[in-house]
Amino acid sequence: MSDDRLGITGEVASGDRRNERIVTRVLQGCAAVTIATTVAIFAVLLDNAFSFFYGQRLHEAVLGATLDQRVGVVEFITGTRWAPYHAFPDYGVLPLINGTLLITVGAAFISIPIGTATAIYLSEYASERVRGVLKPTLEVLAGIPTIVYGFFAISFITPVFVRPVFETLGFSVSFYNAFAGMVVVGIMTIPMVSSISEDAMSSVPDDLRNAAYGLGATKQEVSTQVVLPASISGILASYILAVSRAIGETMAVTLAAGHRSQMTLNPFVEIQTMTAYMVQMARGEAALGTVEYQSLFAVGLVLFLMTLSMNLLNDWVKRRYREVYR
């Protein structure tokens, strides 16, 4: 071809072109691993949870294995007694959900107000020097392993704070109690709320603050009536993430709140969360494939669906309340 003499159309760079295609394929493969992980989580949980209910894994059932109903789906979802080890076992998941929500709500009562107020202080009030100390300190709080928070709960929060204080007030407080779990989960999620909310508040344009100051607003009014509403999407996102994190939190609540599944709103008694049950089960001796063992996956599926819906809610909030200005 005549063009070949120019060297811009022919085979000159074909080797490099082939490399480029191969590399692209390999990198696409890497990205596919992340998708495969999500698919695998879904598949594995569904497959194994199916056997909890019907005695056969989902893929076995599809291949034609006969089902042997062990636990009813309705019984699982609406039952108020969770007693897998009992002579007459019951598999009602509500007590575990009750325990998880008790911890989550209690933790939110700590992390949301404190995290938000910290974010306001960092974004609106603090000098550069204070920020330079406070922000890394809160990052340290976020970086401490949850097992350490669990240890903190049973070695300090319960014996030095919860029991002395509330027993003086006339409550009866057991060694393992939901309250200590709420406190440590609340503390560990403060940095999530404060850092994400602060990012949102800091990105509110200064024009808006000037407008309010120009009208004679006080700093507190500017913070709560202008900055807070203008950054509401980021703030809500931080709340949802903190709640989602509290739902999935495992080691701290396992150590602090214990292993007695019950339907209760009393924060001073021993409870069991979904995650704590999973730890208890995984430590136990139940044989593979038994209904006790497979309950691990049924509870895991409920947990996964709860955190997944939190993530989806987060996406929705971000789209719904996206700030319109730049």
Interactions with another protein, residue window 238-297 (CB under 8 A) = 241, 244, 247-251, 254-255, 275, 278-279, 282-283, 288, 296-297
| Min separation Cβ 165 and another protein, Å | 15
Query: Does 30 sit near another protein (CB under 8 A)?
Result: yes
Q: How far apart are the first and last CA of the chain?
A: 54
Q: Which is nearer to another protein, 178 or 296 (CB)?
A: 296
Query: Does 125 sit near another protein (CB under 8 A)?
Result: yes
Round to whole Å and give the CA distance between 177 and 153. Answer: 10
Give the phi and the psi of residue 183 in degrees, each rounded to 5.
-65, -50
| Number of residues written out for the chain | 326
Among 146, 174, 177, 295, binds another protein (CB under 8 A): 146
Among 226, 228, 269, 317, binds another protein (CB under 8 A): 226
Q: Which is nearer to another protein, 140 or 169 (CB)?
A: 140
Residues 93, 298 contacting (CB under 8 angstroms): yes
Q: Which stretch binds another protein (CB under 8 A): 34-42, 77-85, 91-99, 264-272?
A: 34-42
Round to whole Å and give the CA distance between 183 and 185. Answer: 6
Q: Which is nearer to another protein, 34 or 88 (CB)?
A: 34
**Side-chain half-sphere of 239: how many Cα atoms within 13 Å?**
18
Q: Residue holding tokens 């089902």?
A: 67
Element (H, E) at 83: strand 82-83
Q: Which stretch binds another protein (CB under 8 A): 85-93, 164-172, 218-226, 261-269?
A: 218-226
Which two structure tokens, joined as six digits, stand for 291?
């209904």
Q: Which stretch binds another protein (CB under 8 A): 72-80, 162-170, 222-230, 261-269?
A: 222-230
Round to whole Å and give the CA distance between 99 and 29. Answer: 40
> How far from 42 is each of 39, 117, 271, 292, CA to CA, in Å?
5, 38, 28, 20
Of 116, 115, 182, nearest in space to 149 by CA: 182
Given the DSSP bridges, would you call strands 90-91 and 82-83 parallel, antiparallel or unpaired?
A: antiparallel
Give residue 269's Cα distance to chain centre.
Answer: 24
| Min separation Cβ 307 and another protein, Å | 6
Q: Which is nearer to another protein, 81 or 248 (CB)?
A: 248
Q: Which of residues 176-195 bind another protein (CB under 8 A)?
A: 187, 190-191, 194
Round to whole Å and give the CA distance between 51 and 89. Answer: 17
Query: Does 72 sit near another protein (CB under 8 A)?
Result: no
Query: Does 218 sit near another protein (CB under 8 A)?
Result: yes
| Min separation Cβ 294 and another protein, Å | 10
| Min separation Cβ 87 and another protein, Å | 26
Among 58, 65, 105, 134, binds another protein (CB under 8 A): 134
* Amino acid occupying residue 252: A
| Min separation Cβ 268 and another protein, Å | 20
| Min separation Cβ 308 and another protein, Å | 7
Q: Which is nearer to another protein, 78 or 137 (CB)?
A: 137
